[in-house]
A and B are shown apart, each in its own frame.
Chain A
């Protein structure tokens, strides 16, 4: 299934005029440490971009800037056609609700059951009140990640893979247009990693989302990526499909695919 999936995904052309995230000359430093030097990227509607790079190169910082968790020092950052730094608080809030973020740890709320974790964004962000409708959406989200039976469990009772799935369900429940994944398969065994990678592709097809995926996992990159960008020392140094980059003569890029 996966080889076919990879080939089909590589064939999909990206629509040039339908950019959902545009990053231009993004810079971010922490004290003297210049983490992002000059980041430029366009994410098209329905596209999955994988960002590869060694640890500490600024991959997570890039998506945290996109999500508004960090404020860039310089550069332009447009999400769904809106310049982030010019948006008033209320509009930024509305924009964020169209943006999902899957954290490395899942970031589930410890004091709540899985059901309450999923209800939290529905009641606080969408201000939903209809209990039947909310329950339906919770069931649907859990069904799409294959975890209906975990609805009344607490995060402490779940395995690492289950936590990621619930985190994904919580992200999906708001029906975001864009999802940012921060190392979705880190810390998981190869079988669970593969399941999560396949789930990302399946959900992208079902909900028509666009995604940026940060990962070190080449198996995950192969399954989910329409396009891969390689990051080194605060800059993107190469971009292409999985197959294109495997043939790269650059040793630094080649090392990832060995």
Chain B
């Protein structure tokens, strides 16, 4: 029992060490000559543009459902005029960034983990290394930066669509004009709601890209490891996101309240 625990602990520490080394390689290669602009833009297209549909539908439905769930309760207290503000604050501060990051984890981290894992298994990464090309610069830097930039943009888009969903949800039960709904929503929001949410989305994006690349790049040999890389990328990135969110809330509270 004790030896199993020691072995598990050693394995965990080894993985942490690998992650530190991988972070160092990533950081060093960002500023190296020959940044892979073409591959970076291709990754922005894959990570960002190809996720728009999924994120848009989810964003809209989150706002719609949240409104439908809260409207009756607030109406009981005669406080239905607070629905737009409540929906806006909940979405922008917490629900939007976290749900969208988790959705992106399922779509993007798994895809990066599987792609790089498959490249590792079929020796494509080794082929880059042996020809003196730089696989970290080409594969890792581009993917992590694309995720870091595109996830916050997707989150902002989803937040906006969630407010539209909220307005549609309200209008199912009673008529509220768009102008009134959005005026009330934006009136309730402050920069202290928006800025921390956007900042933490950058960290969520980084975590998604980093974990996907790390798991794929360190896949062991065999096709089974490709599936394992994709799966563990999703699990680990989801945990990272919840963890980062918990820290972000503490920091936001310290700074603003």
Q: Looking at the assembled complex, report how far the CB atom of A165 sits from the nearest CB atom of chain B, in whole angstroms.
A: 15
Question: How many residue pairs at the A-B interface have CB separations less than 8 Å?
Answer: 57
A82 at the interface (CB under 8 A from B): no
| Contact B130–A99 (Cβ < 8 Å) | yes
Q: Could you mark each residue 119-138 of chain B with 1 if its beta carbon is under 8 Å from any beta carbon of chain A, else 0?
A: 10011101111111110001
Q: Which residues of A contact B122 (CB under 8 A)?
A: 105, 107, 110
B34 at the interface (CB under 8 A from A): yes
| Contact B131–A103 (Cβ < 8 Å) | no
Bound CA–CA A124/B29 (angstroms) = 14
Within the complex, which residue of B119, B126, B132, B138 is in contact with A103, where a contact is CB–CB below 8 Å? Answer: B126
Q: Looking at the assembled complex, report how far the CB atom of A107 sits from the nearest CB atom of chain B, in whole angstroms.
A: 4
| A124-B34, A124-B138 known; A97+B132 contact, CB < 8 A | yes
Q: Which residues of A contact B132 (CB under 8 A)?
A: 93-94, 96-97, 121, 124-125
Quick one: closest A residue to B135, CB to CB? A124
Bound CA–CA A103/B122 (angstroms) = 9
Please indicate which of the listed interface residues B123, B127, B128 has the most CB atoms of chain A within 10 Å of its own CB: B127
| A107-B122, A107-B123, A110-B124 known; A121+B131 contact, CB < 8 A | yes
Q: Could you mark each residue 146-182 of chain A with 1 if its beta carbon is under 8 Å from any beta carbon of chain B, else 0?
A: 0000000000000000000000001100100000000
Query: What is the size, in residues, of chain A's interface with B at 8 Å between Cβ atoms?
Result: 25
Q: Which residues of B contact A101 (CB under 8 A)?
A: 127, 130-131
| Contact B119–A110 (Cβ < 8 Å) | yes
Bound CA–CA A67/B130 (angstroms) = 6
Quick one: closest A residue to B137, CB to CB? A124
Quick one: closest A residue to B127, CB to CB? A107
Q: Which residues of B contact A125 (CB under 8 A)?
A: 131-133
A69 at the interface (CB under 8 A from B): yes
A109 at the interface (CB under 8 A from B): yes
Which residues A95-126 have CB closer than 8 A to chain B?
Answer: 96-97, 99-101, 103-105, 107-110, 120-121, 124-125
Please indicate which of the listed interface residues A99, A108, A124, A125 has the most CB atoms of chain B within 10 Å of its own CB: A124
Q: Looking at the assembled complex, report how far the CB atom of B130 sits from the nearest CB atom of chain A, in whole angstroms.
A: 4
Q: Which residues of A contact B123 (CB under 8 A)?
A: 103-105, 107
Q: Which residues of A contact B124 (CB under 8 A)?
A: 107-110
Query: What is the size, in residues, of chain B's interface with A at 8 Å between Cβ atoms?
Result: 16
Q: Which residues of B contact A97 (CB under 8 A)?
A: 131-132
Q: Which residues of A contact B118 (CB under 8 A)?
A: 110
Q: Which residues of A contact B119 (CB under 8 A)?
A: 109-110
Bound CA–CA A209/B190 (angstroms) = 69
| Contact B34–A96 (Cβ < 8 Å) | no
Q: Which residues of B contact A93 (CB under 8 A)?
A: 132
Please indicate which of the listed interface residues B118, B123, B126, B130 has the most CB atoms of chain A within 10 Å of its own CB: B130
Within the complex, which residue of A69, A99, A108 is in contact with B126, where a contact is CB–CB below 8 Å? Answer: A69
| A107-B122, A110-B119 known; A124+B127 contact, CB < 8 A | no
Bound CA–CA A75/B118 (angstroms) = 33
Q: Looking at the assembled complex, report how far the CB atom of A158 sits from the nearest CB atom of chain B, in whole angstroms.
A: 14
Q: Which residues of B contact A190 (CB under 8 A)?
A: none
Bound CA–CA A174/B128 (angstroms) = 13
| Contact B133–A68 (Cβ < 8 Å) | no
Bound CA–CA A67/B123 (angstroms) = 13
Within the complex, which residue of A69, A121, A171 is in contact with B133, where a contact is CB–CB below 8 Å? Answer: A121
| A108-B124, A124-B138 known; A69+B131 contact, CB < 8 A | no
Q: Which residues of B contact A120 (CB under 8 A)?
A: 128, 131, 133
Bound CA–CA A163/B138 (angstroms) = 22
Quick one: closest A residue to B125, CB to CB? A107
| Contact B134–A69 (Cβ < 8 Å) | no
Q: Looking at the assembled complex, report how far the CB atom of A72 sits from the nearest CB atom of chain B, in whole angstroms.
A: 16
Q: Could you mark each residue 58-102 of chain A with 1 if its beta carbon is under 8 Å from any beta carbon of chain B, else 0?
A: 000000000111000000000000000000000001101101110
Which residues B73-88 have CB closer than 8 A to chain A?
Answer: none
Q: A68-B129, A96-B132, A121-B133 are in contact. List 7 more A-B contacts (CB 8 A).
A: A67-B130, A93-B132, A103-B126, A107-B127, A108-B124, A124-B132, A127-B34
- Residues on A facing B (Cβ under 8 Å): 67-69, 93-94, 96-97, 99-101, 103-105, 107-110, 120-121, 124-125, 127, 170-171, 174
- Please name the 4 residue pairs, one residue from A and one from B, whose CB atoms are nearest each other, closest first: A107-B127, A124-B133, A107-B123, A96-B132
Q: List 11 A-B contacts (CB under 8 A).
A: A96-B130, A96-B132, A107-B123, A107-B126, A109-B124, A110-B118, A120-B133, A124-B34, A124-B138, A125-B131, A125-B133
